[in-house]
Amino acid sequence: MMKFDNAKYRTVLNLIKKTGEFKGKAVPSKARLHEMIGDALGISHNTVKDWERATSNGPDPRIPGLLEQLEAYLEVDCGKEQLNQLN
């Protein structure tokens, strides 16, 4: 099973925020990005924000496919398994 890589997740969100746009919509703040992700996945914006904490384990594994939905929405692989293959 792949483990969520919150450092990579934070990096992806920071890059999106830096560009100021994602999926054709303005991203003026991290809070707006959290809202966009939460709305797309049907979960709380605060939950999405909490995934950025260094101690977070990411999407709840009891919700089937949530990590995959997050990765698909962000168009990136947020797991460590893929990251380790690149090194």
pLDDT, averaged in runs of 10, over the chain (87 residues): 80 93 93 96 96 91 90 77 37
Are 50 and 86 spatial neighbours (Cβ–Cβ below 8 Å)? no
The residue among 16, 2, 11, 17 whose CA lies nearest residue 59 is: 2
In contact, 69 and 24? CB cutoff 8 Å: no
pTM: 0.82
pLDDT for the residue 79 = 55
pLDDT at 75: 87
Q: Distance from CA of residue 62 to its chain's centroid? A: 17
d(CA 5, CA 61): 14
